[in-house]
């Protein structure tokens, strides 16, 4: 942090403001290591104060919660190879708050007039982790009057194809009060970092309000700042509970936890932008279920329970079974539905269980109807026959409602690059023709009739955004409980 000055107003006033003498190098111990303050230059024209946080990497890992066996932290909670010792993260913000606490409050006992003064400041943060990149860095600092220089740091110059890291080399310049500058950093460093770890304090709301006083309320990105600042804690606890086993499997595979644990969308994805489509899809499904007269309904791939919630509102559905393979999704569904607090009679209508469409499961048979809403496109094509058998051959619901995106419609999504699928986990997206071919094959193989319905606006050229197939168990159709499986018995007396 550099400031300039003149003979009357020497730059070394910075020392008074920071309560750190320019001729001394000082060190302070903080919860994650040692913070050092020193001055590379200190003259009347220019004075630079440097804060260096020496993080203890081994202690950092040991501090991680949720210790795994073997006396070490668990992978999901503490990355043992970690950029924390090198970047300006929430750890640095915490150190900033501790080392410069008076300056942060705008207090200076020796020279009480100094803190109120606006002065030229240049702040360099050589490695600032910034989710959102230089663009977001600018959006956060520019409204506060800073001139922002933000250079992305390449991941590895030996492998240019890897692109940039999430770190930005930041230079801020502006005329401001030092206390404001420090508060900006105190709040915005962790907001940009948006890291998952090392955040435990319970009074974060108060801290945010205090540090944001005078600038946050007018900031155009106020919502994003508050969200990120406060959301981290909630996410931390959720992750601590749910992701460990999967994270370990990802670890074993040399891949990132997110690669496996992606059943629940954290934020907005490229999934259908206008929420109304999800609503219209649910309405179409509910209408089909009501027509069928179903009372006992399976929601296969229930995700976070949106459809289950809708089904609960209609008492004709007396038994609603939500099934998903993702424990995380089920946990989320349970939380949303508030099952524990639901009146007993209502709660008795719902069950949420882990299940899989690539295994047969006798618990799923005997239902009036099954819904597979936006599910099949998450199954690898080679595994589709297994899922088909599990649903139509083994569970054999009276009615089955299957929805899936219509790939033809993708050209109508302005934000979706050509040739891309709507969700990163979609293993395929079908045209109407492809869906029809599959669904008619299923119906024929398993003794169902099938009809197709559009969901959402039915575009004359490319069809509707979502396609729905309504399967009904054919009353007189061959029962294919054992399709191709051994000769259907000739009459009892005569077999073999």
Partner 1 sequence: MTDRTPAPAPASTPTGTAGPAPARTTALAVPDLSLVVLVGTTGAGKSTFARTHFAPTQVVSSDFCRGLVADDENDQSASSDAFDVLHYITGKRLAAGRLTVVDATNVQTEARRRLVRLAREHDVLPVAIVLDVPERVCAERNAARPDRADMPAHVIPRQRRELRRSLRSLEREGFRKVHILRGVEEVAAARIELERRYNDLRHLTGPFDIVGDVHGCRAELEALLGRLGYAVERDAAGRAVDASHPEGRTAVFVGDLVDRGPDSPGVLRLVMGMVAAGHALCVPGNHENKLGRHLRGRNVRHTHGLAETIEQLGKETAADPEFPARVGEFIGSLVSHYVLDGGALVVCHAGLPEKYHGRTSGRVRSHALYGDTTGETDEFGLPVRYPWAEDYRGRAAVVYGHTPTPRATWLNNTICLDTGCVFGGSLTALRWPERELVDVPAERVWYEPARPLTADAPGGHEGRPLALADVHGRRVVETRHAGRVAVREENAAAALEVMSRFAIDPRLLPYLPPTMAPCATSRLEGYLEHPAEAFAEYRSAGVAEVVCEEKHMGSRAVALVCRDAGTAAERFGVTGGETGALHTRTGRPFFDDRAVTEEVLARVRAAADGAGLWEELDTDWLLLDAELLPWSLKSAGLLRRQYAAVGAAAGAVFPGALAALEAAASRGSKVDGLLARQRERAADAAAFAEAYGRYCRPVDGLDGVELAPFQILAVRGRSLAAVPHVDQLAWLDRLAGADGTGLLRRTGRLVVDTGDEASVAAGTDWWLELTEAGGEGMVVKPLDALVRGPDGRLVQPGVKCRGREYLRIVYGPEYAREENLRRLRERHLGHKRSLALREYALGLEALDRLADGEPLWRVHEAVFAVLALESEPVDPRL
Site for partner 1 in 422-461 (CB under 8 A): none
Instruction: Select from 202, 267, 343, 382 the one that contacts partner 1 (CB under 8 A).
Output: 382
- 3 lines the binding site for partner 1 (CB under 8 A): no
Residue among 415 and 490 whose Cβ is closer to partner 1 = 490
Residue among 447 and 463 whose Cβ is closer to partner 1 = 447
Residue among 49 and 94 whose Cβ is closer to partner 1 = 49
User: Which among 7-15, 17-25, 130-138, 403-411 is the span making contact with partner 1, rule CB under 8 A?
Assistant: 17-25
- 418 lines the binding site for partner 1 (CB under 8 A): no
CB 223 to partner 1: min, Å: 27
Q: Which of residues 466-485 bind partner 1 (CB under 8 A)?
A: 478-485
Q: Which of residues 260-319 bind partner 1 (CB under 8 A)?
A: 260, 263
Residue among 311 and 321 whose Cβ is closer to partner 1 = 321
Instruction: Select from 7, 268, 475, 487 the one that contacts partner 1 (CB under 8 A).
Output: 487
Q: How many chain residues touch partner 1 (CB under 8 A)?
A: 106
Of 253, 19, 221, which is closest to residue 137 (Cα–Cα)?
A: 221
Residue among 161 and 461 whose Cβ is closer to partner 1 = 161
Do residues 173 and 198 touch, judged by C-beta distance below 8 A? no
CB 421 to partner 1: min, Å: 13
CA separation for the pair 483, 496 (Å, rounded): 18
Residue 30, phi then psi, degrees to nearest 5: -120, 180
- 343 lines the binding site for partner 1 (CB under 8 A): no
CB 288 to partner 1: min, Å: 25
CA separation for the pair 390, 387 (Å, rounded): 5
CA separation for the pair 19, 103 (Å, rounded): 7
User: Which among 186-194, 270-278, 323-331, 428-436 is the span making contact with partner 1, rule CB under 8 A?
Assistant: 323-331
In what helix (H) or strand (E) does residue 192 lie, and over which residues does it extend? helix 178-193
Kindly give the pairing relationship between strand 369-373 and strand 296-300: parallel
Q: Is 351 exposed, middle or buried (0-12, 13-18, 19+ CB in 10 A)?
A: middle
- 326 lines the binding site for partner 1 (CB under 8 A): yes
Residue among 200 and 482 whose Cβ is closer to partner 1 = 482
Instruction: Select from 206, 259, 283, 433 the one that contacts partner 1 (CB under 8 A).
Output: 259
Q: Which of residues 160-179 bind partner 1 (CB under 8 A)?
A: 161-163, 165-167, 169
User: Which among 179-187, 239-247, 277-285, 451-459 is the span making contact with partner 1, rule CB under 8 A?
Assistant: 239-247
Residue among 169 and 222 whose Cβ is closer to partner 1 = 169
Q: Check the CA dihedral 387-392-396-401 and report its sign.
A: positive
Of 152, 209, 220, which is closest to residue 183 (Cα–Cα)?
A: 209
Q: Check the CA dihedral 343-346-347-348 and report its sign.
A: positive
CB 89 to partner 1: min, Å: 10
217: its two tokens:
């309320």
Instruction: Select from 4, 270, 351, 356 the one that contacts partner 1 (CB under 8 A).
Output: 356
473: its two tokens:
């168990």
x/- binding map, residues 62-101, to partner 1, per CB under 8 A? x-----xxxxxxxx---xxxxx-xxx--------------
- Classified as helix, coil or strand, 170 is strand
- 4 lines the binding site for partner 1 (CB under 8 A): no
Tell me which residue has tokens 């919630």.
Answer: 309
Size of the chain, expressed as the number of residues it contains:
496
In what helix (H) or strand (E) does residue 388 lie, and over which residues does it extend? helix 384-388
Instruction: Select from 138, 378, 426, 472 the one that contacts partner 1 (CB under 8 A).
Output: 378
The 10 Å Cβ neighbour count of residue 80 is 13
Residue among 41 and 459 whose Cβ is closer to partner 1 = 41
- 496 lines the binding site for partner 1 (CB under 8 A): yes
User: Which among 212-220, 258-266, 332-340, 404-412 is the span making contact with partner 1, rule CB under 8 A?
Assistant: 258-266
Residue among 305 and 355 whose Cβ is closer to partner 1 = 355
Q: How far apart are the first and last CA of the chain?
A: 91
The residues that bridge with 148 in the sheet, in sequence order, are 172
Residue among 180 and 368 whose Cβ is closer to partner 1 = 368
CA separation for the pair 225, 266 (Å, rounded): 17
In what helix (H) or strand (E) does residue 231 lie, and over which residues does it extend? helix 222-242
25 Cβ contact list (under 8 Å, min separation 6) = 36, 37, 38, 39
CA separation for the pair 379, 383 (Å, rounded): 6
Residue among 144 and 300 whose Cβ is closer to partner 1 = 300
């Amino acid at each position: 942090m550099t400031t300039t000055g003149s003979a009357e107003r020497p730059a070394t006033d910075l020392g008074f403001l920071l309560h750190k003498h320019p001729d001394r190098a000082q060190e302070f111990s903080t919860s994650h290591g040692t913070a050092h303050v020193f001055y590379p230059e200190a003259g009347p024209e220019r004075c630079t104060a440097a804060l260096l946080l020496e993080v203890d990497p081994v202690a950092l890992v040991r501090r991680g919660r949720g210790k795994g066996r073997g006396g070490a932290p668990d992978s999901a909670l503490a990355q043992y190879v970690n950029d924390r010792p090198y970047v300006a993260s929430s750890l640095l913000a915490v150190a900033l708050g501790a080392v410069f606490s008076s300056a942060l409050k705008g207090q200076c006992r020796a020279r009480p007039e100094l803190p109120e003064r606006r002065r030229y400041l240049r702040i360099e943060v050589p490695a600032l982790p910034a989710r959102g990149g230089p663009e977001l860095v600018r959006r956060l600092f520019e409204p506060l009057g800073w001139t922002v220089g933000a250079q992305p740091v390449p991941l590895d110059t030996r492998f240019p194809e890897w692109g940039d890291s999430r770190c930005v080399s930041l230079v801020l310049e502006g005329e401001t009060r030092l206390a404001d500058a420090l508060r900006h950093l105190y709040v915005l460093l962790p907001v940009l970092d948006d890291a998952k770890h090392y955040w435990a304090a319970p009074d974060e709301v108060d801290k945010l309000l205090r540090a944001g006083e005078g600038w946050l309320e007018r900031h155009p990105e106020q919502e994003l700042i508050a969200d990120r600042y406060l959301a981290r804690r909630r996410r931390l606890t959720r992750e601590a509970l749910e992701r460990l086993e999967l994270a370990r499997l990802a670890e074993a595979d040399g891949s990132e936890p997110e690669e496996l644990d992606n059943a629940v969308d954290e934020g907005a994805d490229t999934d259908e932008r206008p929420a109304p489509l999800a609503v219209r899809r649910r309405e179409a499904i509910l209408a089909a279920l009501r027509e069928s007269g179903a009372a006992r309904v399976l929601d296969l791939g229930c995700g976070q329970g949106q459809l289950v919630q809708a089904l609960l509102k209609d008492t004709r559905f007396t038994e609603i079974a939500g099934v998903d393979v993702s424990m995380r999704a089920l946990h989320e569904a349970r939380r949303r539905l508030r099952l524990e607090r639901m009146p007993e009679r209502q709660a008795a209508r719902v069950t949420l269980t882990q299940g899989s469409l690539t295994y047969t499961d006798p618990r799923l048979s005997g239902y009036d109807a099954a819904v597979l809403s936006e599910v099949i496109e998450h199954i690898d094509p080679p595994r589709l026959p297994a899922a088909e058998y599990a649903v139509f051959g083994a569970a054999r619901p009276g009615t089955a409602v299957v929805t899936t995106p219509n790939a033809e419609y993708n050209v109508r999504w302005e934000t979706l690059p050509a040739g891309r699928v709507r969700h990163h986990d979609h293993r395929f997206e079908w045209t109407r023709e492809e869906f029809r071919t599959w669904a008619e094959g299923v119906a024929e193989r398993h003794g169902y009739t099938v009809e197709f319905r559009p969901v959402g606006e039915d575009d004359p050229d490319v069809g509707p955004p979502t396609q729905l197939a309504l399967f009904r168990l054919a009353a007189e159709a061959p029962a294919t409980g054992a399709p191709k499986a051994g000769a259907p018995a000739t009459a009892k007396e005569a077999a073999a």
